[in-house]
């Protein structure tokens, strides 16, 4: 199992318990009392460590190589997912997967960033960093969902839009901007869930909706902590500090009022049990979709507008501080 640095004490203790267990089974000495004590200590240690994760710990968790991806969650959450391809103009971007499926019997359109699960797949999917055709495919299928009155579920998991020459030539900016613009006006419910990293405009291009949920150990930011540190303090090594200052974790964003609800994670991170994690997502998604489906189309769009209109912190000379 791939472990993270802050989890080392847990791993050490687990190894020690395993050792003692092995020793007990092969020798005359009975250490079961000792083992029991250690297991209690392990539980307490896990509580301590996983309940006091720093923003940087969460960044590591969000980037964990084994963290479940969009396709993993799709396989657990939806029935009959039917993947659809292409933007009808240029190509098919494998950094975004999209298709139709059923969610508890309800037809839905599902769209998400897709990282690779190994190097080969990562190259094919450009590490989950989309080109304009990826965003345009997403938009095409969102418009299709609107036509057939299907709710849309977007799973966000990207370091950002792909920074490449071809991407710029084909209008990366315009593609992201267009998605934001069109998503603001969709007359069907849109639910967005950050499942890993939510990187900047590349994430937001699938992120304008009626509800924004975040997995407990996911991040959402205007720039990566490394990028922020390099830009602000000319030192990418200060990423840890940037992760704290920039407020990029689910709890921080909940406090800022940007995230509607945090989806709790399996203890030790979603990668420990993807199936159980999907169940935890289901518990939040299901009532949200049900509730949004009762709303009128126009009030849905108006409410979405008001939701974004409220975001921001500024002072107004005449009326004082407004939040």
Partner 1 sequence: MAIKNMFTKQKPKKIKYATIPSEAAKQDVPEGIMQKCPKCKKIMYTRELQKNLHVCFGCGYHYPMRAHERIKSLLDEGSFRELDAGLSTANPLQFPDYEEKIAADRKKTGLNEAIVTGVGSIDGYPSAFAFMDSSFRMGSMGSVVGEKITRAVEEAIRLRIPFIIFTASGGARMQEGVLSLMQMAKTGAAFKRLSDRGGLIVSVMTHPTTGGVSASFASLGDFNFAEPGALIGFAGRRIIEQTIREKLPEDFQTAEFLLKCGQLDAVLHRSEMKEKLSFLLDIHQTGGGER
Residues 28, 33, 118, 169: which binds partner 1 (CB under 8 A)? 169
Strand pairing category for 106-113 and 96-103: antiparallel
Nearer to partner 1, 53 or 214 (CB): 214
Judged by CB, which is closer to partner 1: 12, or 174?
174
Among residue numbers 62 through 91, which ones bind partner 1 (CB under 8 A)? none
Residue 257 or 287 having the CB closest to partner 1:
257
Q: How far is the CB of 291 from partner 1 (least distance, A)?
A: 21
* Helix (H/G/I), strand (E/B), else coil: 223: coil
218 is a contact residue toward partner 1 (CB under 8 A): no
Instruction: Encode 107-124: b = buried (16+ Cβ within 10 Å), e = exposed.
Output: ebbbbbbbbbbeeeebee
Integer angstrom CA distances of residue 206 from 109, 241, 252: 13, 28, 21
User: Of the candidates 92, 168, 261, 282, which one interacts with partner 1 according to CB under 8 A?
Assistant: 168
The two tokens of residue 223 are 């720039």
245 binds partner 1 (CB under 8 A): yes
Q: How many residues bind partner 1 (CB under 8 A)?
A: 54
The set of residues, in sequence order, having a beta carbon less than 8 Å from that of 201 and lying 6+ positions away, is: 160, 161, 176
- Contact pick of 158, 172, 218, 277 for partner 1 (by CB under 8 A): 172
Residues from 92 through 131 that contact partner 1 (CB under 8 A) = none
The C-alpha atoms of residue 189 and residue 154 are separated, in whole angstroms, by 11
Q: How far is the CB of 39 from partner 1 (least distance, A)?
A: 40
Question: Among 3, 9, 185, 287, which residue sits at the site for partner 1 (rule: CB under 8 A)?
Answer: 185
C-beta of 178 vs 240, nearer to partner 1:
178
- The CB density around residue 71, as the number of other CB atoms within 10 Å, is 15
Burial of 232 (0-12, 13-18, 19+ CB in 10 A): middle
Paired residues of 104 in beta bridges = none
Of 15-23, 24-32, 105-113, 161-169, which part binds partner 1 (CB under 8 A)? 161-169
Binding partner 1 by CB under 8 A: which of 223, 236, 238, 280? 223
**Residue from 21, 85, 240, 247 binding partner 1 (CB under 8 A):** 247
By the rule CB under 8 A, 13 interacts with partner 1: no
Provide the minimum distance between the beta carbon of 5 and partner 1 in the complex, in angstroms, as a whole number. 25
Q: How many Cα atoms sit within 13 Å of 187 on the Cβ side?
A: 8
Residue 190 touches partner 1, criterion: CB under 8 A: no
Q: Give the distance, in angstroms, between the CA of residue 223 and the centroid of all CA atoms in the same chain.
A: 15
Binding mask 260-299 for partner 1 (x = CB under 8 A): ----------------------------------------
Q: Does 234 bind partner 1 (CB under 8 A)?
A: no
CA-wise closest residue to 59 among 5, 133, 127: 5
Residue 97 or 206 having the CB closest to partner 1: 206
Residue found under tokens 């938009």: 139
Smallest distance, partner 1 to C-beta of residue 92, A: 20
Strand, coil or helix: 132: helix
CA distances to 116, 153, 194, 222, 271 from 70, in Å: 10, 11, 10, 21, 13
Helical H runs in 186-323?
200-204, 225-233, 239-245, 250-255, 274-293, 297-309
Residue numbers of the site for partner 1 (CB under 8 A)?
A: 161-165, 167-174, 176-178, 180-182, 184-185, 200-201, 204-205, 207-208, 220-223, 228, 231-232, 245-248, 253, 256, 258, 304-305, 308-309, 311-318, 321
């Amino acid at each position: 199992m791939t472990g993270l640095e802050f989890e080392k004490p847990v791993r050490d203790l687990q190894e020690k318990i395993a050792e003692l267990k092995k020793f007990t089974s092969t020798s005359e000495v009975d250490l079961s009392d000792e083992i029991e004590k250690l297991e209690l200590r392990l539980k307490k240690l896990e509580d301590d460590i996983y309940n006091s994760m720093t923003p940087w710990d969460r960044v590591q968790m969000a980037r964990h190589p084994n963290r479940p991806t969009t396709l993993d969650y799709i396989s657990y959450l939806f029935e009959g997912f039917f993947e659809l391809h292409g933007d009808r103009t240029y190509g098919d971007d494998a950094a975004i997967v999209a298709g139709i499926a059923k969610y508890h019997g309800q037809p839905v359109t599902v769209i998400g960033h897709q990282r690779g699960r190994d190097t080969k797949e990562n190259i094919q999917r450009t590490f989950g960093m989309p080109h304009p055709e990826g965003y345009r495919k997403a938009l095409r299928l969102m418009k299709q969902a609107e036509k057939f009155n299907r709710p849309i579920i977007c799973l966000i998991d990207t370091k950002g839009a792909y920074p490449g020459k071809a991407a710029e030539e084909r209008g990366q900016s315009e593609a992201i901007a267009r998605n934001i613009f069109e998503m603001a006006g969709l007359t069907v419910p849109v639910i967005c869930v950050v499942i890993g990293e939510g990187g900047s405009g590349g994430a937001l291009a699938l992120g304008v909706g009626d509800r924004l949920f975040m997995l407990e150990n996911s991040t959402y930011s205007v720039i990566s902590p490394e990028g922020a540190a390099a830009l602000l303090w000319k030192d990418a090594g200060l990423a840890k500090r940037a992760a704290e200052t920039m407020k990029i974790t689910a709890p921080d964003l909940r406090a800022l009022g940007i995230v509607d609800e945090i989806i709790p994670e399996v203890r030790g991170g979603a990668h420990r049990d993807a199936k159980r994690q999907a169940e935890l997502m289901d518990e939040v998604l299901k009532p949200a979709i049900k509730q949004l489906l009762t709303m009128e189309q126009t009030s849905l769009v108006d409410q979405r507008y008001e939701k974004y209109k409220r975001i921001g912190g500024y002072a107004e000379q005449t009326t004082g501080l407004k939040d």
